Amino acid sequence: MTYDLVIKNGTVVDGTGAPRFHADIGVKDGLIVDVGKVAGSATKTIDASDLIVAPGFVDPHTHYDAQICWDDVTSPSCWHGVTSVVMGNCGVGLAPCREAAREIAAWDLVNVEAIPIEVLKQGVTWDWETFPEYMDAAARRGSGLNLGFLAALTPFRHYVLGEESMERAATAQETQKIAGLLREAMEAGAMGFTTTNALQHIGYQGRPLACRLASNDELVSYARVLRDVGRGAIEIALTNEVSVVDETEYALLDLLLTESRRPVTWLALLNREDNPEAAQNTLKSTAELLKRGAIPQVTCRPLNVQIDLRKPFIFANMACWNPVFNRTVEEQIQIYRNPSFRTAFRDALKNPTIFGGDWKRAVIHEVENPTLSALIGSNVAAVAQARGADALDTFLDLALEDNLRIQFTYELFNSDESRIPELITDPRTMIGLSDGGAHVDMLCDAGYCTYLLGTWVREREVMSLEHAVKRITTEPAALFGITQRGRIAPGLAADFAIFDLARVGSKKRGEMRNDLPGGGRRLVMPATGVEYTIVNGSVLFAGGKDSGARPGQVLRSGRA
């Protein structure tokens, strides 16, 4: 046989958790044909001696909904051996959307994902209206990675209710229309639907993201769409208090599981310093739901964020901050100076949920005002003490002194890395939470796969290589019904991550680049040790260099 691609002499970790083995792999027409000793000629041969050949990684939690319009390799995920991404998470997305509502949809992304409005105006192609048209547009554009789509509930509600979607629940008739659109999306290949009840998620004009106003009656109707089609999953953000599922949220998970009869993945389960037992207590309190298909998402990394007071997403769950959003810098400055705002902020920190107000963990990372440059690397508490001032006032005053251009870093969750293994080794959890494409000025955890392999497999030996690969391939693929990927076996899609186990990894903090449309800023996470990212039998990246091939496919539920 003449193969399109032969990978020779590799150490194969097939994604099932089975022991690694040495083998060649033959690929033809985008599929794995042979695994073992491969004889015959090949158009391209890769010598994988001393390298691990794994299935391409499947990222279950991304927000590349807008980025795929201007970035046909979906970076930085592609640098880390990820070959398939699932987007549309947390109830925010871009389809369906009428032309008149494009600005509202864009501002939802500004507030939830911190993508500058100028970037969206330049970069989003808007060559669709309906959700099926959105998926078709992605297929026409071409992609380096395989793209899976979840139906984010916010644009569906807005499509039917208009701006009232941010103010009220849908009527029975409106609910029926939304359910019909959701069914149309599922029939086109959506992998389920997503929503959020997190106060953190605000949209256009600082109003609640539209899906947050969905009633339980609505959610029952939407869940039954998945029950009726017999496939798909539901993703929901339950992050009003991270790692704590209260009685109302427990009842909501129960409702979604019961009415959909499908898996429900929720976020986020993280370790927190102010409540060290929260994650483990939540696993205990939700044990019955976990048995029925509720799957909490965890990350294998410390959650470090960069804080920008022009786009202050990290404070969005505090009502006192809502007036700050979608304002000019001059308007924001006036708010930050206002004593009543500072008092309200101080009161809100008495019952913290996400940002805890530990000013020792708020570190000055970047400034433009040269008079502040000596403070880079200092924490706000220390600066406040040196100035003889209150720490909260100092935090805001520093921002004002730099015309809101100052950047702070803050370690939100998983700061005690010794406790991360108890989350990532628990078989009831799913490793994900990369948020690729979201919070672009704040964090970049798209390198979680290489961090898992470098930190927790090679350096700290918390889990075996075989188990780690299974956790980031077959497990997320199974959740979304992606049956043709996530494993290495004849007849399956030829998606591979080929890496050097001695070098694979990524850093704790990303680096800032001005590579968005119009020169917009975003944090990216470079990878080390990933030699090849191969998608559908074609080399996408080799030695960190883009091949120019765009072999990715739109993954459609039931056919992926």
β-strands 3-12, 52-55 pairing: parallel
Q: What is the C-alpha to C-alpha distance for residues 488 and 500, in angstroms, rounded to an integer?
A: 18
Q: What is the pLDDT averaged over residues 7-34?
A: 98
Q: What is the C-alpha to C-alpha distance for residues 179 and 214, in angstroms, rounded to an integer?
A: 12
Cβ neighbours for 410, distance < 8 A, ≥ 6 positions apart: 304, 305, 306, 307, 314, 355, 361, 362, 363
Given a cut of 70, whether residue 206 has pLDDT beyond it is: yes
CB 170 within 8 A of CB 214: yes
Cβ neighbours for 299, distance < 8 A, ≥ 6 positions apart: 268, 270, 414, 431, 432, 433, 434, 445, 448
Q: What is the pLDDT averaged over residues 191-201?
A: 93
Q: What is the C-alpha to C-alpha distance for residues 103 and 125, in angstroms, rounded to an integer?
A: 13
The DSSP line for 110-161 is HHHH---HHHHHHH-----SSHHHHHHHHHHH--SSEEEE-EEHHHHHHHHH
Mean pLDDT for the chain overall: 95
Q: Which residue has the higher pLDDT, 97 or 442?
A: 97
The rounded percent of the chain whose pLDDT value lies above 70 is 100
Please tell me the least confidently modeled range out of 26-30, 82-86, 151-155, 270-274: 270-274
Please report the pLDDT score of residue 200 as a whole number: 82
Please report the pLDDT score of residue 240 as a whole number: 67
CA distances for 557 relative to 98, 150, 185, angstroms:
25, 10, 10
DSSP type of residue 528:
B
Q: What is the pLDDT averaged over residues 260-279?
A: 92
Q: What is the pLDDT averaged over residues 484-506?
A: 98
Given a cut of 90, whether residue 442 has pLDDT beyond it is: no
Interaxial angle between packed helices 329-337 and 391-401, expressed in degrees from 0 to 180 and rounded to the nearest 10: 150
Domain ranges (residues) in the chain: 57-302+414-484, 306-412
Residues found in the chain: 560
CB atoms under 10 Å from CB of 116, counted, come to 22
CA-based angle 325:328:330, to the nearest 5? 120
Q: Which residue has the higher pLDDT, 64 or 40?
A: 64
- Residue 2 three-state SS: coil
Q: What is the C-alpha to C-alpha distance for residues 454 and 447, in angstroms, rounded to an integer?
A: 11
Q: Which residue has the higher pLDDT, 501 or 239?
A: 501
Q: What is the C-alpha to C-alpha distance for residues 150 and 131, in angstroms, rounded to an integer?
A: 10
Please report the pLDDT score of residue 147 as a whole number: 98
Cα separation of the two ends of the chain: 27
Q: Which residue has the higher pLDDT, 492 or 273?
A: 492
Q: What is the pLDDT averaged over residues 206-218?
A: 95
Please report the pLDDT score of residue 560 as a whole number: 82
**pLDDT band at residue 559 using 50, 70 and 90 as cut-offs:** confident
Amino acid (one-letter) located at 91? G
Please report the pLDDT score of residue 198 as a whole number: 86
Report how far Cα 291 is from the mean position of its chain's Cα atoms: 25
CA-based angle 238:243:247, to the nearest 5? 60
Give the neighbor-by-neighbor strand order of the sheet with 407-413: 303-308, 407-413, 362-366
In sequence order, the β-bridge partners of residue 144 are: none
Supply the Cα-derived Rg of the chain in whole angstroms. 23
Of 9, 145, 20, 5, nearest to 75 (Cα)? 145
Please report the pLDDT score of residue 488 as a whole number: 98
Phi then psi for residue 350, to 5 deg, are -70, -20
Q: What is the C-alpha to C-alpha distance for residues 55 and 557, in angstroms, rounded to an integer?
A: 20
Please report the pLDDT score of residue 219 as a whole number: 98
- Which range scores top for mean pLDDT: 270-274, 379-383, 410-414? 379-383
Query: Does this model's pTM top 0.85?
Result: yes
Q: Which residue has the higher pLDDT, 380 or 559?
A: 380
For domain 57-302+414-484, give the fold.
TIM Barrel (3.20.20)
Q: What is the C-alpha to C-alpha distance for residues 398 and 221, in angstroms, rounded to an integer?
A: 49
HSE value, Cβ hemisphere, 13 Å, CA-based, for 422:
16
Given a cut of 70, whether residue 472 has pLDDT beyond it is: yes
Cβ neighbours for 21, distance < 8 A, ≥ 6 positions apart: 11, 12
Please report the pLDDT score of residue 293 as a whole number: 97
Q: What is the C-alpha to C-alpha distance for residues 37 and 27, in angstroms, rounded to an integer?
A: 13
